[in-house]
Amino acid sequence: MPLQATRATPGESRQDAILDAAERVFAASGYQGAAMRAIAGEAGVAQGLIHYHFKTKEKLFEAMVARRSNQINARRAALVAGLFEHGTPRLEAIVEALFRPTIETGLDLARDGGAFARILVAFANSADPRDQKLIETHYDPIAQTFIAALMRVEPGLSRSDAVWAYMFAIGVGMTMMAKTGRPKRLSGGVCDDGDVEAMLDRIVPFICGGVRALVEG
């Protein structure tokens, strides 16, 4: 039985430890601002080991995105499919299914303060072809699923308006995932973007009202 070094979460492979550390450092400093040295330090491994497992910084980033995205989007797909199993769900349920897996898996406040959700906000808004290629691979398919779902629950919605509605909904969700603290500042402490349930309680009706306005107009 080989000796096992002390590690933040015992039983975790060093590859996963590196990916976890990458998530935290990329979230805190951005892609360019994150240093391989800092990730290695956070993971408790030598810098050379990261290059052994992931070759380059860019490939490390991609591996980190792939791991968490697959996790989140499998859950999202299952939720939407489940909603249509017994008749046609309400629009509200679709919108909730859009966000809940991301905030529960990626935000995961207890573990890392929402590291992956922050990364998502940054690179989903990037026009860099490298970032958009990642979005296309990992998020466009599930986006098409949601766009189709929107059209099923709101039959008056045209396909192009469903695409716009999806983009706008994601934009609203960004304000929750970015967790900038601005709502608290603007409201004198009343609105807290760290309280995910309170935000969902306002985000869901806001988006549903927006979608239905596109149907009517």
Partner DNA sequence: GTCTATAGTTCGATAGAC
Partner DNA sequence: GTCTATCGAACTATAGAC
Q: Are 103 and 172 in contact (CB under 8 A)?
A: no
Q: Does the footprint of a copy of itself cover residue 137 (CB under 8 A)?
A: no
CA distance 171 to 24: 23
Residues 24-53, interacting with a copy of itself (CB under 8 A): 29-33
Binding test (CB under 7 A) with DNA, winner from 48, 141, 205, 209: 48
Q: Does 35 bind DNA (CB under 7 A)?
A: yes
Nearer CB in complex with DNA: 65/177: 65
Nearer to a copy of itself among residue 48 and residue 171 (C-beta)? 171
**With CB cut-offs between 5 and 8 Å by kind, which of a copy of itself, DNA, none does residue 190 bind?**
a copy of itself
- Intra-chain end-to-end CA distance of the chain, in Å: 69
DSSP characters for 91-118? HHHHHHHHHHHIIIIII-HHHHSSHHHH
Cα-based distances in Å from 194 to 107, 154, 175 = 10, 31, 11
194, two tokens: 């760290």
Q: How far apart are CA 171 and CA 148, in angstroms?
A: 18
Q: Give the burial class of 132: count Cβ atoms within 10 A of its Cβ; 0-12 exposed, 13-18 middle, 19 or more buried.
A: middle
Structure tokens at 12: 């975790």
Q: Tell whether residue 184 is a contact of DNA (CB under 7 A).
A: no
Residues 148-177 that bind a copy of itself (CB under 8 A): 159-161, 163-168, 170-175
80 lies in the binding site for a copy of itself (CB under 8 A): no
Partner whose binding site includes residue 84, from a copy of itself, DNA, none (CB under 5 to 8 Å by kind):
none
Applying CB under 7 A, does 36 fall inside the site for DNA?
A: yes
Assess 128 for contact with DNA (CB under 7 A): no
For residue 172, give Cα distances in angstroms to 47, 131, 150. Answer: 38, 20, 16
Least distance in angstroms from the C-beta of 129 to DNA: 18
Tokens linked to 213? 């306005």
| Residues near a copy of itself, by CB under 8 A | 29-33, 118, 121-122, 124-127, 132, 135-136, 140, 143-144, 147, 159-161, 163-168, 170-175, 178-183, 185-187, 190-191, 193, 199, 202-203, 205-214, 216-217
| Residues near DNA, by CB under 7 A | 5, 14-15, 34-38, 44-49, 51-53, 55-58
